[in-house]
Amino acid sequence: MRPTEHELVERCRQGDETAFRELVDHYKGLVFGLIARSIANRARAEELAQDVFLKVHKGLPCFRGEAKLSTWMYRIVINVLSQERPELTTASLDDRDEDDRPRLQPAADDRAFGDLVMKDRLQKAIEQLPIQYQVLINGHYLKGMRYEDLAEALNMPMGTVKTHLHRAKRRLRHLLETEYR
């Protein structure tokens, strides 16, 4: 029978290495997936994902269990990514800064969505988003991250999360219309 999250955390806190190994096995997909979608360098992404688990290991004695473990990890991922790319941490999350940009009209003949080139452009555009937007998009479209989890991790009401998600996608669309044509 699979141990509950609470049991797993308790065993980790008592210094049970097997429990921590189980914890890593359980969450490594989520943590690495989130980071690898923001950091193009695979080796660096792996190193940062390991850093997240080291911070989890160090912080477990202080983890009071008020939030879900995945939520707490999600916050650590945001912190680690923010330290990695501080220039994207201070970027504004509202739309004001992009209002000054010249907006090009979408090209009528651009029907090439879905191909590899478009995927590459999308990835580059995502990497230009502020870290919180990146994690929001990566988290939302990665299996397992619900609106509730995102709201808790980002300390925002659920409605705000949805609004930010739409803004993030709008910014993506504008980036694809302008910088990554």
62 vs 66, which CB is nearer to another protein?
62
Is the Cα torsion angle 97, 85, 21, 69 positive or negative in sign?
A: negative
44 vs 86, which CB is nearer to another protein?
44
6 vs 119, which CB is nearer to another protein?
119
Question: Which chain residues interact with another protein by CB under 8 A?
Answer: 17, 20-21, 24-25, 28-29, 32-33, 36-37, 42, 45-46, 49-50, 53-54, 57-58, 105-106, 108, 110, 113-114, 118-119, 122, 137, 141-143, 162, 165-167, 169-170, 172-173, 176-177
Minimum distance of another protein from residue 7's CB (angstroms): 19
58 vs 90, which CB is nearer to another protein?
58
Minimum distance of another protein from residue 164's CB (angstroms): 11
Is the Cα torsion angle 146, 164, 41, 49 positive or negative in sign?
A: negative
CB 176 within 8 A of CB 122: yes
Whole-number Å distance between alpha carbons of 119 and 167: 20
Whole-number Å distance between alpha carbons of 39 and 123: 10
